[in-house]
Amino acid sequence: MALKDNVLLMDAKTGTIPAEQGTLVMKEFMSGSAVMQLAKYEEMTKPVKEFTYLASGVGAYWVDEGNKIPVSKPTWLKAKIEAKKLGVIIPATKEFLKWTVPAFFNQMRPAIAEAFYTKFDQATLFGNDSPYAAGQSIWENIVASGNKLEENSTGKGLGEESSNIIAMVEDGDGDPNGFITTRRFKQAMRNAVDAKGNSLFTDKTKAAPSTLHGLPVGYVNGKSWDYTKARLITGDWDYARYGILQDIEYEIATEATLDILGEDGQPINLFQRDMFALRATMHVAFMTLKEDAFAALTPKPATP
């Protein structure tokens, strides 16, 4: 049963985030995740979904008049994607317990969404603290395929180097359709030029995303990025799939000790601090379908 808008948080300590606020959290989650901006969405109605995808395309043929048209043989493969529970715990002062449930989640929405997309991108990009099967992260695919190019290794600048990692994906018969990086890398992209000195980068506007070589650029929260591994990642993102299984559920705890340190360097005890903790959970799936569909520009190793 849906909660009434005037129900206080103290009277509804468990449940599902109200539809309006839950939808907004989902939108912020999906728009904040660089991976979700580019990967392909799989609708899910149960924890594990099997689906079929086209691994190689249908062929066309030149045929003389009256001759039989050959039957092409596309390759269809089966894949299985599984949703995993993603949770966040956020401490707050007890004054919020006197707020209505919708008002509280309107206030907490950005924090919940950021926590979700930061953790999701960490796992799916680099496999950091990932619940998904080994080898499913974008970085693991890049390592397995060897599609890596060290920054400044060509001596011809980012314009050529970013083009070269696009070519690595194309060599695997992929069609690169976007980049992922951090805002820290924007200065380098602004300096990327072609052989004639023309800029290859356009910055984001209200109407359009940033582009490099005409391909959209998704920016990752800096907390999600592993700077020791990559500077810039591209790929055929149709071979990365994600799904969201259910609404966001929540629970309130008022007596617990969190593994978050306070200003005194000690774990936060909610009872002592007159606080409570919000736990929000959802189920998210992710998988990759082709290891050579991604490539990365990697940082130059630090000099010992």
pLDDT at residue 171 greater than cutoff 60: yes
Domains and CATH numbers, the chain: 9-298 (3.90.1690)
Reduced DSSP (H G I as helix, E B as strand, rest coil) percent helix, strand, coil of the chain, to 5? 30, 30, 40
CA nearest to 151, candidates 213, 226, 230: 230
pLDDT at residue 149 greater than cutoff 70: yes
Q: How far apart are CA 176 and CA 192, in angstroms?
A: 18
User: Side chain identity at 151, as an amino acid letter?
Assistant: E
Q: How far apart are CA 92 and CA 162, in angstroms?
A: 44
Query: Is the distance from CB of 121 to CB of 233 less than 8 angstroms?
Result: no
**Average predicted confidence (pLDDT) for the chain:** 89
Using alpha carbons only, give the angle 48, 50, 54 rounded to the nearest 5 degrees: 145
pLDDT category at 59 given cuts 50, 70, 90 is: low
Phi, psi angle pair for 165, to nearest 5°: -75, -25
What is the token pair recorded at 237?
Answer: 């993102």
Query: Is the distance from CB of 120 to CB of 90 less than 8 angstroms?
Result: no
Tell me: the pLDDT tens digits for 243-300?
999 889 999 988 777 767 677 777 777 877 888 889 999 999 999 999 999 999 999 8
Tell me: the pLDDT tens digits for 80-138?
999 999 999 888 889 999 999 999 999 999 999 999 999 999 999 999 999 999 999 99
User: Side chain identity at 302, as an amino acid letter?
Assistant: A
Q: Please give the residue that has the higher pLDDT: either 155 or 261.
A: 155
User: What is the four-CA torsion angle of 103, 105, 111, 117, rounded to 10 degrees?
Assistant: -150
